[in-house]
Amino acid sequence: MASVDSGDSGGSEKRGRKKNKWQQRKRIGFHIDMTPYVDVIMLLLTFFIMTSTLNQPQVMQINLPKGDDKVDIVKVDMGNVVFIRVSEKGNIGLSKGKSDGTEDQPIKVNLQQMKQYIEGWGTANKDMIMILKFHRKAKYDMMISVLDEINRAAIEKRYSFSKMEEPDFKVLEAIGG
């Protein structure tokens, strides 16, 4: 494991030179063999790699429509629909649909308020369906945050993603874009 080297070469006193007090001391050098330590480190590393579990990626299941057939179209009473629109800046606009096909004035909310609103509307209307519309340039983490708040809400979760169109942009401008 370790060895000691005295460092005495001998012969310097034989030549007649006098040593000063620093030269009179014997120099002792140590050599430590690191091979067993490397073996132990490799065994520990192997043990921790073999016994650790890796995080499994969490997958969000999204059901996509099969096609543009007229058969796939589902008729929904607009009185049961809640529109959730998210702007490019991250502003959230909520509005309830009316049975005549129109919708109420949109309300600008933050994430916590959104959860309170959809919980209130969801308990009042058990058939509520949420239509989620996100601006193309909205941040991805904002979409995840909105979905997280919907999942935290104590309601039955029925929602659909829809493409944002020109009337939706006007609604977002009404709440401050």
User: What is the model's pLDDT at position 34?
Assistant: 85
Closest to 62 measured CA to CA, from 152, 128, 159: 159
pLDDT in 10s for each residue of the chain, 177 residues: 555 555 555 554 555 566 666 566 677 788 888 888 999 999 999 999 888 877 777 776 766 666 666 666 677 788 888 899 998 888 898 988 888 878 888 888 888 888 888 888 888 888 888 889 998 888 888 889 988 888 888 888 888 888 888 888 888 888 776
In Å, how far are 5, 61, 119, 129, 150 from 122, measured between CA atoms? 83, 22, 5, 9, 11
User: What is the model's pLDDT at position 45?
Assistant: 93
User: What is the model's pLDDT at position 44?
Assistant: 94
User: What is the model's pLDDT at position 162?
Assistant: 87
Parse the chain into domains and list their residue ranges.
77-174
User: What is the model's pLDDT at position 155?
Assistant: 84
- The 3-state secondary structure of 93-106 reads EEEEECCCCCECCC
Report the amino acid identity of residue 54: L
Residue 71 is classified by DSSP as G
State if pTM tops 0.75. Answer: no
Which contiguous run of DSSP H or E holds residue 82? strand 81-86
For 168, residues 6+ apart whose C-beta sits below 8 A from its C-beta are 85, 133
User: What is the model's pLDDT at position 24?
Assistant: 64
User: What is the model's pLDDT at position 40?
Assistant: 93
Pick among 3.40.50.1220, 3.30.420.270, 3.40.50.850, 3.40.640.10: CATH of 77-174: 3.30.420.270
